[in-house]
Amino acid sequence: MKLPALLSGLFFFLAACSGEVPIRADVIYTGGTIYTGTEADATVEAVAVGDGVIVYTGPMQGALDSTKSGARIVTLPENAVMFPGFTDSHVHLSGIGQRELTLNLDQVTSIEELKAKLLAYREAHPELDRIRGRGWIETHWPEGRFPTAADLDEVAADIPVVLTRADGHASVANTAALEASGVTAETEPPSGGDILKTDDGEPSGMLIDNAMGLVGGLFTDPDAEDVREFVSTGFDVYAARGWTGLHNMSVGATELDALQALALDDEIKLRTYNAVTPDQLDAAINRSPRGHLLTTRAVKIYMDGALGSRGALLVDPYSDAPGTTGLALREKDETMTFFERALDGNVQLAIHAIGDLGNKRALNWIGEAISTHETSEEDGSAEDEVGDDYRWRIEHAQIVKTEDQSKFAENGIIASMQPSHAIGDLFFAPARLGPDRLGTAYAWKDLMAEGAVIAGGSDAPVEVGDPIIEFYAATVRKGLNGYSDEDWHRDQALSRFEALKLFTQNAAYAAFMEDELGTIEVGKRGDFSVFDQDLMQVGDDEILATKPLMTIVEGKAVWQAEPIAERETEVSE
């Protein structure tokens, strides 16, 4: 049994026997509005936390009765609204930090602006002999196309330059980078990748999915200190946005080492749940690294690429590129072998699948693997008996055929989805998919109706990584500029409470932490997100104006916008 669950059970047992609180509170939060998340409109006057655990919720007097002498009382501003801690169920933590510390292109609005940003960066860093950047996405650009090597050559032709698309599934390289890497018109793309060509058959500079590795050798992998800086910066950025926790995707060995070092120094700021790269399967089996606020028990794998770069694997060809159906990044035999190892090791799998064929394969292969494993358990041939609570996840689940939607609930598969992908993609998805497939794209409501648990995330640094944007996307399903049309299928928008659950209760469940997180209840951990507007009540057009006020983990503020009034109790021990 997990320690927090044990503490929770101990609390209720002792409280029932003696009527006393076994853990005395060291901090009380009151003022503003406090939503417990147990029901859509459930609020309390005060929450008391002791040793990181919620020991009381209810009227203020009861909170005072639960405290020890010298406990702090934090009085939230009148406009403050506290929720159970928001968790981003899909983020790349080191990528967040790296985006902040390198050439950040996430606000670029055209090829001309991309070139201007690159030129300014080149001039600001004359010592560099090569440049790497990330964050551009062309779907709103007036040019209506991908950038090319020729574009980059206009402002930086003398050194290799590689700029990665926001989704991480495509890069544009300049001519110097292509030549230094030996990429020519005769270069064959690797399996699961593509090299886009110009009309005369030369590489355009655009490299899709596995083809990005062709220029990867130009850059030295970040060392442990670099990655530690990336991760620390990522924690700071996320705390300042109001997130109390995150599910950290595609974590490699160097990042695991960096996280372990931070854990040993007690510098893990937010509750972190790791899904490691496939080569780190043993780390997930052994649950290492681990520590206060740090858990490792999942593995991330890829079935296909991304929709924007036409790498998502579709049953039928792309409407705007009839010659392709996307990229298959895994073959069945090797995948089923990997599934068996994960099941034997009681490891959760987080499987990237975006296209309808990518999702169909993932759902069917998972179903086969679980059925085979449970049969082997019955006849005694399985290595380990792990029960049936696998909670495997499909990350993104963006386009799922109607006949496949029920398969999530049938095998207990979690749909880990990112609402902001919809409001970004739906500017270009109609062209990629055509009208007939749009009805099964980003279909949160339909998946819920089929019984699927949906965990909400952002996929930052692909997206901004802002809980307010994600909440807005889930409930309003319009562009950040207010745009939508019939292609956006706004009937898939969620209620405010359904959206809250995506980032609280469902996120906790997706990490096997529902006994510890997700609601503000006695016995759970004291993780809270505090904002300056009531997300359950404000108008749709007001949601995006919401700002974080305070981020609280284990009852302690890890970030706050400005000092908030505190005083000490004078309760005797």
Task: Please give the structure tokens belonging to residue 92.
Answer: 């790349």
- The per-residue pLDDT for 68 is 81
Count of Cβ atoms closer than 10 Å to residue 142 Cβ: 9
For residue 159, pLDDT beyond 90:
yes
The whole-angstrom distance between residue 324's C-alpha and the CA centroid of its chain comes to 28
For residue 65, pLDDT beyond 60:
yes
Lookup result for tokens 């931070």: 262
Report the SS3 class of residue 52. Answer: coil
Provide CB contacts within 8 A for 109, sequence distance 6+: 140, 141
For residue 464, pLDDT beyond 80:
yes
Provide CB contacts within 8 A for 2, sequence distance 6+: 515, 516
Contact 117, 103 (CB under 8 A): yes
- The per-residue pLDDT for 17 is 36
Please give the average per-residue pLDDT across 336-356, as a whole number: 97
- The per-residue pLDDT for 564 is 86
Strand order in the sheet with 103-104: 103-104, 131-136, 161-165, 170-173, 203-209, 193-197
- The per-residue pLDDT for 566 is 85
- Please give the sequence-ordered ranges of beta strands (E in DSSP) within 108-259, or none if there are none: 131-136, 161-165, 170-173, 193-197, 203-209, 243-251
Please give the average per-residue pLDDT across 539-565, as a whole number: 96
Lookup result for tokens 């993780």: 527
Question: What is the spatial distance between Cα 319 and Cα 330, in angstroms, rounded to a whole number?
Answer: 24
- The torsion angle over the Cα atoms of residues 362, 364, 367 and 369, rounded to 10 degrees, is -70
Question: What is the spatial distance between Cα 496 and Cα 370, in angstroms, rounded to a whole number?
Answer: 34
- The per-residue pLDDT for 386 is 40
- The per-residue pLDDT for 13 is 43
pLDDT single digits (tens) 26-51? 999 999 999 999 999 999 999 999 99
Q: What percent of the chain has pLDDT over 90?
A: 88
Of 189, 192, 200, 154, nearest to 175 (Cα)? 154
pLDDT single digits (tens) 2-25? 444 444 444 444 443 333 446 899
pLDDT single digits (tens) 83-130? 999 999 999 999 999 999 989 998 999 999 999 999 999 999 999 999
Q: Which has more confidence, 137 or 275?
A: 275
- The per-residue pLDDT for 570 is 61
Task: Please give the structure tokens belonging to residue 156.
Answer: 């930086």
- The secondary structure element, H or E, covering residue 158 is none
pLDDT single digits (tens) 238-292? 999 999 999 999 999 999 999 999 999 999 999 999 999 999 999 999 999 999 9
Backbone angles phi, psi at 441, to 5 degrees: -105, 135
Please give the average per-residue pLDDT across 427-447, as a whole number: 97
pLDDT single digits (tens) 470-516? 999 999 999 999 999 999 999 999 999 999 999 999 999 999 999 99
- The per-residue pLDDT for 18 is 32
**Most distant CA pair in the chain, distance:** 83
Confidence (pTM): 0.89
